[in-house]
Amino acid sequence: MSERVFRFRLNGTEVEGRAEPRRLLSDYLRDDLGLTGTHVGCEHGICGACTIHLNGRAVRSCLLFACQVDGAEVRTVEGLADARDPLSPLQEAFWEHHGLQCGFCTPGMLMTAAELLETNPDPTEGEIREAISGNLCRCTGYVFIVDAIRAAADKLGARGAERQ
């Protein structure tokens, strides 16, 4: 099958990509680019483990073809904090509140939570639960994930207040 060429920004860096039209974005990111932080849990759009940001919106990379990101801005979990930098406030809050166990759903959960906090900086518990209801976690029972996201909102809110 002939390959498609496409250009996009990935975690802030320009990439020229090349893939078969049918290649899934999740496989492309993981296997071709080596960004294995994006996990694949069901390959049919239910579990949310493969969630990334496409032009700022949380989407499932297993439901997109790689070539569909042509011209787009893509952000993966590796883009939340550089490996040499401190964790982002959201990651820090997940650490602080035991919002992860096996770590498999975590990247997708973080990307969904990041989108939530960017669009709704002060969510209620109900809004948090609704927002992450498309990300399955089998380990935690969600209680500490909800706490972590709420704590991140507080932390980010306090930072925003400081800046003002």
Partner 1 sequence: MTEQARPSFIGARVKRLEDPRLLRGHGRYVADVRLPGALEVAFVRSEMPHADITAVDAGAAREHPGVVRVLTGSDELVAGREIRGDWRGEIWQTSAQPALAGDRVRFVGQPIAAVVATSRYVAEDAASLVVADYRELQPLTSARASLSDGAPLLHEGWTRNFFRHSHFLGGDPDAAFAAADGVLELRTATQRQTGMPLETRGCVADYDVVSGSLTVWMTNQMPSVVRTSLADVLGVEENRVRVVAPDIGGGFGVKAYLYPEDVVVCLLAMELGRPVRWIEDRREHLLAAIHARQQEHRVQVAYRADGKVLAIRAEVLVDSGAFSVHPWTAGLEAGNALSLLPGPYTIGDYECDAYAVATNKSPFGPVRGVARPAAALSTERAMDQVARATGLDPIEVRRRNLIDARDCPYTTVTGNLIDSASFQEALDRLCEVADYPQLRRQQAEAREAGRLLGIGVACYAEQGASGIHEYLRRGMPTIFGYETALVRMDPSGKVLVEVTTHSHGQGHETTIAQVVATRLQVPLQDVRVVYGDTSRMPYGMGTFGSRSIVMAGGAASAAADKVRLKLEQFAAHLLEISADDLETVDGAVRAKGAPFRSIPISELARAAYHQPHRLPQGMQPLLEAVSTYDTERGTGTWTNACHLALVELDPGLGLLDVQKYVVVHDCGVIVNPTIVEGQLHGGIAHGIGGALLEELVYDEWGQPLSTTFMDYLLPSATEVPRIEAHHIETPSPFSATGSKGMGEGGAIAPGPVLAAALEDALRPLGEVVVTELPLTPERVLRYVDEARGAAADASGDR
Helix, strand, coil abundance in the chain, percent, nearest 5: 40, 15, 40
Taking the complex as a whole, the smallest distance from the CB of residue 164 to partner 1 amounts, in Å, to: 29
Nearest-angstrom CA–CA distance, 103 and 120: 25
Q: Does 127 bind partner 1 (CB under 8 A)?
A: no
* 72 lies in the binding site for partner 1 (CB under 8 A): no
Residue with smaller CB distance to partner 1, 8 or 94: 94
CA dist list (Å): 154 to 2, 37, 89, 149, 162: 49, 26, 10, 9, 12
Q: What is the DSSP string of 73-85?
A: EEE-GGGTS-TTS
Q: Is 98 in the site for partner 1 (CB under 8 A)?
A: yes
- Please say whether the beta carbons of 131 and 122 come within 8 A: no
Out of 5, 21, 71, 87, the only residue in the binding site for partner 1 (CB under 8 A) is: 87
Q: Nearer Cβ to partner 1, position 86 or 162?
A: 86
- Of 127 and 162, the one with the shorter C-beta distance to partner 1 is 127
Beta strand extents in 11-154 (DSSP E only) = 13-19, 51-54, 57-60, 73-75
Bridge partners, 86 (sequence order): none
Quote the least distance from Cβ 94 to partner 1, whole Å: 6
- Rounded to the nearest whole angstrom, what is the least distance from the CB of residue 141 to partner 1 in the complex? 3
Instruction: By CB under 8 A, tell whether 105 contacts partner 1.
Output: yes
CA atoms within 13 Å, Cβ hemisphere of 101: 9
130 binds partner 1 (CB under 8 A): yes
Can you give the binding site for partner 1, defined by CB under 8 A? 20, 22-23, 27, 30-31, 34-44, 46-47, 49, 76-78, 80-81, 83, 87, 91, 94-96, 98, 100-107, 110, 125, 128-130, 132-146
